[in-house]
Structure 1
Amino acid sequence: MQRLQAFKYELMPTGEQQCKMRRFAGACRFVFNKALALHKERYEQGEKKLGYAGLCKLLTEWRNGAQTPWLKDAPNHPLQQALKDLERAYTNFFARRADSPRFKKKGQGDSFRYPDPKQVKLDQANSRIFLPKLGWLRYRNSRDVLGAIRQVTVSASGGKWYVSIQTERNVDQPLPQVTSAVGIDMGITRFATMSDGNYLAPLNSFRRHEARLRLAQRAMSRKTQFSSNWKKAAHVQRIHSRIGNARRDYLHKATTAISQNHAMVCIEDLQVRNMSRSAAGDTGQPGKNVRAKSGLNKAILDQGWFEFRRQLDYKLAWNGGHLIAVPPQNTSRTCPACGCVRAENRQTQAKFACVECGFEENADLVGAINILARGHRVAACGEPVQSGRSAKQEPTEAI
């Protein structure tokens, strides 16, 4: 089977190479924004949307034009990839998978991509990589790159530059080394409660850095934007980068351990966007309990539930296992002993006590047991997976 995998490393560029990378990222951002503005203008005038081929013709004119001759300094392929990203964004928007494309801002997600592997040279023995118009760049070689290179992406985060090398290689069809199955109930007090009784404590990386982030944002607000003092005090981005890195590291370690120890993992098909939707309302219909709901939304988003599910999905596939998402309705209100489904069964956030048979247990553990049972039914009978509940229907069911 074909396996696509990305290997990410921190780059160690020279000062000149850093300047070039900032210019290349800025050129890609300029092309993306210019094409997006053109799309919006044509839409307002009732004209047909230009496709990728039409935008590439305009890109040639922009590179050769008198107004933007500096676009020639950037490699051509990354500029074309910026147009492909815009085309993909519109495709996802029309398919209702994403919101409307927005203009990119300087310093937020700066990156550019080389799609042609023939233009890239990798020297792993000397920990360096050759990229067009950048030359040889050294990188922190933490592990070997496996497979044939397909594309290379250079990105900036927290004041550092990184290179992500996507590869493709043939691997044998994996067979699971274990036969156990587990159900996982996601929450806030307990990040992940498993049906075998074990659970993972939450990391809460944002909460750990919240006070420090608040001070940094307060200091930044007192300075003139893009001034010398503003640049010296630009700690906000680095703190956000540290928060994200800590969360990803925690999720990778957790999902790797779970995927290696279980052949089947059952989780809830949670609609995180609905669960974390704002309750502020508007001037006509102001929301209720806005402060409490805001704190709940912040705690939900701090856990990284969707990323946890995404990592479990591909890591289980790599190890020969599979992931099953089950309907989340009443998972922590159903008694696993007698099957009674009552809202009164969950007396508090952590306590489950069946009103019919008197069975008592932790509510998250009960949810994990019921999730595993539903996963077995889905695997055996093909029971359809329904869409998850909204936050308005059951705002605290999965917490």
Structure 2
Amino acid sequence: MKRLQAFKYELRPDGQQERQMRRFAGSCRFVFNKALALQKERYEQGEKKLSYSDLCKQLTLWKADESTCWLTDTPSQALQQSFKDLDRAYANFFAKRADFPRFKKKGQRNSFRYPQGCKLDQGNSRLFLPKLGWMRYRNSREVLGVVKNITVSHSCGKWFVSIQTEREVENPIAQGDALGIDMGISRFATFDRPLPEFDHKDHLAPLDSFKKHQTALRKAQQAMSRKVKFSSNWKKAKAKVQRIHSRIGNARRDYLHKATTTISQNHAMVCIEDLQVRNMSRSAAGSASQPGRNVRAKSGLNKAILDQGWFEFRRQLDYKLEWNGGWLIAVPPKNTSRTCPSCGHVSAANRKTQSVFECVDCGLKENADVVGAINILRAGHVRLACEVSGATRPPAAGTHRSDSGLAPCYA
């Protein structure tokens, strides 16, 4: 089977190369925004949307124009990849996977991509990029496979390169048994039973990366607000805020990667709840005419939910289980913590508190999250048995939705 994988490294450019990369990222941002403005203008006039090839023709005209002739300094392929990104953004919008494409802002997610023309010299820890030349990078691990494209990005004052490769690997054979996982706030992930790979614990404690750095972040943001905007001191304060945000994100990703790697290597099937994180973390503020209730409490809950990284946990489990030959099954979360795993009685009264489950019918007493994980595992087994006949691999997380073409079966 073919495996697409990206390897990310920190770049070590010199001053001239860094200035060039800033110009390239700015040119790609300009082209993206100009193409988006053109598409919106044509839509307002009732004209058909331009295709990728039509936008490439427009790029030739923009390069010939005296006011935008500086676009010729940027590699043409990198500019054309901006049109690819815009096409993908439109496709995601029409498929209801994302909002309408928005204009890019300077200083946010500056990046550009090379589809070809790059050279990689791993022995000397350097790579060649068109119109930039050879550049050093921090070679922390070996790049496996054939290089398909290279993306250069800027974050928190540093430049990074992401090398996407493709290679053939043997069809993996799943190892281990099935596992049910219940996501929560006080317990990040609760398992249906204690696991030896996690020191015989039945749950993972939350990292609370944002909560740990919240005080430092607040002080840094307050200091930044007192500076004159765009002054030298303001830029220094902004860089400090960005470093704290980067530290928060890096700690969260490291925690999630270690957890998902351990789970995917030791279990052939993982069943989780199909949580709609966007809806669960929606603001309760309401509007001026209809203000919401318990806004402060809901805001704190939303912050705690987003600090856990539930969606990223599910995304990493999805592709890592596939790499190891396993399956990820997403089941509806309805009544998973209210159903008794012993007698099957369903009642809201079964859950006495947020953490205690006590069945009003048979008297079973257990942690509510553990009960939820057990019921999730059972629902996953039922769904696996009800999948479309002849399927060699059950659909991964999220494929049970109506746009997948598969009929759900949870009964």
Opposite residue 138 of structure 1, the aligned amino acid is R
Deviations 1:17-64 (A, max 9, x none): 111111100000010111111122222222222121111111111112
Question: In the alignment, which residue of structure 1 is the partner of 2:128?
Answer: 130
Contact 1:327 1:387 in 2 (8 A): no
Question: In the alignment, which residue of structure 2 is the partner of 1:205?
Answer: 209
Question: In the alignment, which residue of structure 1 is the partner of 2:224?
Answer: 220
| 2:275 aligned with 1:266 | no
Question: In the alignment, which residue of structure 2 is the partner of 1:145?
Answer: 143
Aligned residue runs from structure 1 range 192-341, under 5 A: 192-197=189-194, 198-234=202-238, 235-341=240-346
Question: In the alignment, which residue of structure 2 is the partner of 1:35?
Answer: 35
Shift of 1:240: 1.2
CA distance in 1, matches of 2:184, 2:401: 19
Shift of 1:250: 0.6
Question: In the alignment, which residue of structure 2 is the partner of 1:395?
Answer: none
Question: In the alignment, which residue of structure 2 is the partner of 1:393?
Answer: none
CA distance in 2, matches of 1:99, 1:186: 27
Find the residue that maps to 2:341 and give its secondary structure: coil
Aligned residue runs from structure 1 range 24-103, under 5 A: 24-103=24-103
CA distance in 1, matches of 2:142, 2:339: 48
| Runs of 4+ residues deviating >3 angstroms | 383-388
Equivalent of 1:350 in 336, 351, 355: 355
The worse-fitting range, judged by mean Cα deviation, of 49-58 and 266-275 is 49-58
| 2:182 aligned with 1:185 | yes
For normalisation by structure 1, the TM-score amounts to 0.94
CA distance in 2, matches of 1:22, 1:245: 23
Equivalent of 1:360 in 358, 362, 365: 365
Find the residue that maps to 2:170 and give its secondary structure: coil
Shift of 1:381: 2.7
For normalisation by structure 2, the TM-score amounts to 0.91
Find the residue that maps to 1:196 and give its secondary structure: strand
Question: In the alignment, which residue of structure 2 is the partner of 1:159?
Answer: 157
Shift of 1:189: 0.4
CA distance in 1, matches of 2:246, 2:25: 19
Deviations 1:273-304 (A, max 9, x none): 11111111101111111111111011111111
Contact 1:269 1:387 in 2 (8 A): no
Find the residue that maps to 2:162 and give its secondary structure: strand
Contact 1:184 1:267 in 2 (8 A): yes
Deviations 1:347-397 (A, max 9, x none): 111110111111011100000010011111111233998669xxxxxxxxx
Opposite residue 87 of structure 2, the aligned amino acid is E
CA pair 296-334 structure 1, distance change in 2 beyond 3 A: same
CA distance in 1, matches of 2:401, 2:101: 26
Deviations 1:116-148 (A, max 9, x none): 2xx111000010010001111111111100000
Deviations 1:51-106 (A, max 9, x none): 21111111111112100121111111110001110111111111111101111111
CA pair 386-144 structure 1, distance change in 2 beyond 3 A: closer
CA distance in 1, matches of 2:307, 2:236: 28
Question: In the alignment, which residue of structure 2 is the partner of 1:113?
Answer: 113
CA distance in 2, matches of 1:39, 1:242: 38
Please provide the CA RMSD for this pair. 1.5
Question: In the alignment, which residue of structure 2 is the partner of 1:394?
Answer: none
CA distance in 2, matches of 1:326, 1:231: 47
Shift of 1:177: 2.9
Shift of 1:320: 1.3
Contact 1:33 1:103 in 2 (8 A): yes
CA distance in 2, matches of 1:94, 1:76: 28
Question: In the alignment, which residue of structure 2 is the partner of 1:174?
Answer: 172
Contact 1:115 1:150 in 2 (8 A): yes
Q: How many residues matched?
A: 385
CA distance in 2, matches of 1:328, 1:155: 38
Opposite residue 370 of structure 2, the aligned amino acid is L
Opposite residue 161 of structure 2, the aligned amino acid is V
Shift of 1:163: 0.4
Structure 2 unpaired stretches of 5+: 195-201, 389-394, 403-411
Opposite residue 39 of structure 1, the aligned amino acid is Q
Contact 1:327 1:386 in 2 (8 A): no
CA distance in 2, matches of 1:153, 1:44: 33
Report the identity percentage: 72
Find the residue that maps to 1:68 and give its secondary structure: helix
Question: In the alignment, which residue of structure 1 is the partner of 2:8?
Answer: 8
Deviations 1:225-264 (A, max 9, x none): 2221111222122211111111111100000000011111
Structure 1 unpaired stretches of 5+: 389-399
CA distance in 2, matches of 1:374, 1:45: 51
